[in-house]
Amino acid sequence: MAKIIFIMLLALSANAKYPQWLQDSVKVVAEFEQPNRYIPSYVEGYGFVINYNLVLTSAKIVFNKKKADEITLYHTEVLGQPIACLSHAKILALDDNLDLAVLEVERFTDIYCNILPTPNFRELSFQKTYFNLFKKPIQTSLQTLLGENLKISYFSEQDWSEFLRSRIAFRDFLDFSKEEKEKMLGMPLFIENDFLGLKVKEFPNASSESLKVGILTHKEILDFLCKLENETLVFKNKKDLKEFCKQP
């Protein structure tokens, strides 16, 4: 009986350390060719896998006057293991005024970045693991977060190691240095396991309070996606998004 309880406690500890959304998080590496130079430049950031193999990230990571020449995604298939190459991606939509880019995953690879033939086991597995973005966002203002001194969660990694959950008081998060905030671009932020939004660059003159401090909220992301759905064909044949955007 004691052994069973010990195993249950280990399982609960693992779930606390590795929430489900960690499996939907990726590292994004964008490659930009440099004119008259032999060595390309690389920009690193983070992203979040949502419905339809789409990835949300900061536009600043994959766009610098022009689109990145190559975008590579890294993640961890088994939590607790080092992150490894997953696939390449292309930019499907981008809004510099929100610092948001929507990527579409393509050309899956092995862990050493060698492109796999289609179909492959990684592609099939990836289609089953994503965060369902199409649900009602949490109703929490920045003032509430500050006033109640709530903690937010995000993932961290050191020297390309495993993804780990980090928690910090929202007030302390806002006090991060410019360099620390720059390294977190594209990072999904949570209140416990509820999606708060994406870490983007700060817009001091924005009308949105969240964008002033560099957070694009869940609602703002959904508004952007629905605007594209209603006005363009970018998300053609993505029925779940169409149905969600029809709701009042």
Structural domains of the chain, count: 2
CATH of the domain at 39: 2.40.10.10
Q: Where is the domain boundary, 100, 126, 152? A: 126
Q: Where is the domain boundary, 126, 156, 182? A: 126
CA pair distance 156, 204, nearest whole angstrom: 26
12, pLDDT greater than 60: no
Q: Domain range holding 179?
A: 142-225
User: Does residue 9 belong to any structural domain of this protein?
Assistant: no
Angle, helices 218-231 vs 239-246, to 10°: value is 100
User: Does residue 219 belong to any structural domain of this protein?
Assistant: yes
7, pLDDT greater than 60: no
- Summarize the chain as % helix, strand, coil (round to 5): 30, 30, 35
Q: Are residues 31 and 106 in the same domain?
A: yes
pTM: 0.88
Residue 109 bridge partners (DSSP): 115
Q: Are residues 60 and 149 in the same domain?
A: no
Average pLDDT, rounded, for the chain: 86
User: Does residue 212 belong to any structural domain of this protein?
Assistant: yes
Note the pLDDT tens digit of each residue in 228-246: 999 999 998 888 999 999 8
pLDDT band at 160; cut points 50, 70, 90: low
Residue 115 bridge partners (DSSP): 109
Query: Which of the pair, 204 or 20, is modelled with greater confidence?
Result: 204
Q: Are residues 24 and 119 in the same domain?
A: yes
